[in-house]
Structure 1
Amino acid sequence: MQKLITLILFLFSWHVAAATLHIKVIDAEQKPLPYTVIELINNQYPAVPEPAGAQVIQQDLNFQPFVSLVPQGTLVEFPNLDKTRHHVYSFSKTKAFELRLYAGKPEAPVLFDQAGVVTLGCNIHDNMLAYIYVSHSRFSVMTDANGEAHFNDIPEADFQLAVWHPWQKQPQLPQDISIRAGEQQKDIMLNITQQALPKAPKKGFGDY
């Protein structure tokens, strides 16, 4: 009887993990669009915090990475690898915080306990800009340099597909999507003109 139950659970697990979704995102000029966050939302599958936490570093007078995707409830560290000190802050409703002038690594990471978008800046260096997308769902991915994102092992269920990009002027309304066993392909076009990423100013005395 125990072997039969084990076999049934195995078959059920395999069936649930059989769905795969491939997404391609392009901009208004039909070019691949990186840094697009795609979230499959179903309240049965809430976000699971990253146990090891995450990092947004400061290096060469810039935040790296430009966009971070972290699950709700994740602790994020902000190590400063520059020689100059930084003053990291956010006034975002999702997470307002301030790390006053510091070098090295702050004593404690910052907890991102609410889902949404957090815009990062530095009070000392106006060029520094980055974003943290705090996901509500455990099924969240970000497009790569080719504008592609992949979901693997998705349960068969109905979801809302939410799309966000830092350069969009208006929020995208979520759309319904049904995930079924097998592979699915979805193409998304966003009315976005790509911009240059933030650049560090020319080196000055003591900047690094």
Structure 2
Amino acid sequence: MIAKGTGFVKGKKQVAGKKLAYHLKYLQYRPRGSEETREQRFFFNAAEDHVDRKMIQEEIMAHTSRAVSYHRFVLSPSQEEPILDWMEWTRAVMRDLEHYKGQALHWYAIHHTNTDDPHIHIVLAGSGEDRQTGQPGPVKMLTKDKSPNGHDDWEFLRARGREHSEYEHYQYLQETLKELDREDMLPQQLHRSLTVQQHEQNSIHKGLER
């Protein structure tokens, strides 16, 4: 499971807004996979399945902080972490991140299948509301070395991404297949063992006859 930041934007709001508009357009219209249609490229969030790109820009820019305007990152499960429903999986991971940070987060995501490893791009607003007081505050995505409490937000996302995937089921299937392979090999192993034993017995009999 890969969870990594692809950059964050801060500085003048007008400049950040222009960068965001370009980034959102790029995410929606970048080259698609061979089996991917234009209609499959859409943004979604915690509550809505389809969100207009311009509305996203307005919403994100309405929730910036002095520290950062917005974050960009990617969630990319490995082949051992199959996803049945990418939208619901993303929502579950981001819901866990909200509880982990104690903030209501403003985020938007889009699913890409244009590479060998399907993945989710997320844009996260730089400000969120405290889940207890409702007061706005900066949203920071920190690595362990920069976190005051030693927590690593990216490690958390990787762990939750795996937890919400079909990883356990995948491992069970792999172990089951291995067990079936072993069972399939038993008759062959038994046949070889009996053949060797028969050969040894024949050798002994021939020796006694001499």
| Structure number with higher strand proportion | 1
Q: TM-score, normalised by structure 2?
A: 0.21
| Structure number with higher helix proportion | 2
Q: TM-score, normalised by structure 1?
A: 0.21
- Which structure would you say has the larger Rg? 2
